[in-house]
Amino acid sequence: MSAAKDDATTLDIEGREVRVSHPDKVVFPDPGLTKLDLVQYYLAVADGALRGAADRPMVLKRFVKGIDKEAFFQKRAPESRPPWIDTATLHYASGTSAEEVVVTDAASLAWVINLGCIDLNPHPVRAWDLDHPDELRIDLDPMPGVDWAQIVDVAFVARDVLADCGLVGWPKTSGSRGLHINVRIEPSWTYREVRLAAETLAREVENRAPGLASAHWWKEERGASVFVDFNQNAKDRTVASAYSIRALPDARVSTPLTWDEVRDRRPEEFTVSTMLTRFAERGDVAAGIDDAAGSLDGLLALAEKLGPAEKAPASAKPGPDGSGRRQSSMPLIEIARAKTREEALAGLEAWKSRHPEVVSHLEPADELVDGMRGSSSLWYRIRVNLQHVPEAMRPEQAALEVDYDPWAGRG
C-alpha cells in the first residue's frame, strides 16, 4: 500500500492496483469508520461478498454526500475505469439499455466501494446470460408495528413452501428490519416466469400463515403483516447482496445466517466490526448456495393450481397526480411528498399535531411511508389509512404538508 500526493492510497490487490481516494474520510461517524476501512472490510469478506455479487451486472448506489444524504443510482458504468473492469449491457422493455459494471474479483469490488458505494446491488442474472435469472429473491418486509418473531415465523413458512417445491432457501438479514431468502435456481426460466414463481410462493405463504403474512400488492391492504415481496424479481430490480454494509449509523451488515440462527439472532448484532470477527471465525455460512440450484417446476405447477393472482398495477410509477391508474378501496389521504425521508416525516408530524383526535385511532401500519424510485434517486410519499378512524372523524384530503414535485422540469 502506498500513499499518493493527492490524498489517495493505492492498494495492490492480487496484482492489480486500486486507487482509494480520500482514504481517511469518515463515512460512519458513530463507529468511526473511514472510506479505507470500508474497502478493507470488503476485502476481508470478499469470498462471501463475491459469492453474492460476482459476475452480475450491478447498479451503483453511490453515497457521495454521506450516509445521511440520499444516494443516487447509477446504472451506467463510469466511462473512466480501469481496463480490467468488466461490464454487461442490459436491455429493458421500455427500449432503454444500460452498460453496467460487473464485479468479478476483489480488486473490482474495492474499485466499486471507492466510487462511494456502501452496499452492493447486483441483478439476479450472470453476465453471460442476461435473460435467465439464476436466483429467486424473497424479501420479507415487515409493516410498521411487526416484531422480529413474526418475521421469523413467516420465514420458516417460506422455507417449508420452498422445500415442498424442491428448493432450498438461504436466509440473510436485510441489514434493516427484515429478512431476505435467496434461492439459487437453474438459469432456465425467463424473468416473467421467475417473478410468477416468486408471487406464487408469496401467495402460498399467505395461505399458510393468514394474518401473519401478506402477498397483497397494495400496501394499505396488508395490515400488521409481513409482506412477502415478490416484486424484487422484476427485471429492473436489485437487492442488497450478502455482506453488504447498509447506510445506517451503526454500519449494519446484511448477514447470511443458518436456519438454526434465524430465530435467536437479531439484525442489529451484525455490524462491520462484529462481521469481521464472525467471518474470520466461520467464513461464509452460505458457502453451499451455488451447489443448491433447483428447478422452478414445482412453484410454476402451484401457480396453475392457485389460479390467477391479484392484478398488478399497469405501471409501478404513478402519474403526475400520484394516483396511478387504480383507486384504493381504503380511505387514504396523502400527507406529504418530499425529496428526503426526514422532510416527509416532518410533514407527517405537522399533520398529526393538527389532528390529535385522529392519531389516537391510528395503528402503526396505517402510516404508509413509501420510498419512490425516481430516475436516479429516491423521493418519499406519506399517506395515512383512515380505516380505523370513525367515519365521521375522518379528515378530508387537504393540501400536502410538503409538496415536492419529482417530475418538475421533466416535461
Closest C-alpha to 49, from 248, 267, 276, 313 = 276
How many angstroms separate the Cα of 354 from the Cα of each of 206, 349, 359, 385?
Answer: 37, 9, 9, 16
Can you give the pLDDT at residue 4? 47
| pLDDT tens string 279-314 | 999 999 999 999 999 999 999 999 999 998 866 555
Answer yes or no: is 187 within a domain: no
**Which grid coordinates are listed for 338?**
418530499
Q: At what angle do helices 35-44 and 106-114 cross, to 10 degrees?
A: 160
| pLDDT tens string 67-80 | 988 888 899 999 99
How many angstroms separate the Cα of 159 from the Cα of each of 166, 171, 203, 337?
Answer: 10, 9, 14, 37
Answer yes or no: is 395 within a domain: yes
Answer yes or no: is 168 within a domain: no
Answer yes or no: is 361 within a domain: yes
Residue-number span of the structural domain to which 377 is assigned: 332-403
More reliable by pLDDT, 151 or 6: 151
User: Given a cut of 80, is residue 154 above it in pLDDT?
Assistant: yes
- 329-368 as b/e, with b when 16 or more CB fall inside 10 Å? eeebbbbbbbbbeebbbebbeebbeeeeebeeebeebbbb
> Where is 20: in which H helix or E strand?
strand 16-21
Answer yes or no: is 110 within a domain: no
Answer yes or no: is 33 within a domain: no
Answer yes or no: is 375 within a domain: yes
Total of domains in the chain: 1
Answer yes or no: is 51 within a domain: no
pLDDT band at residue 317, thresholds of 50, 70 and 90? Answer: very low
More reliable by pLDDT, 171 or 6: 171
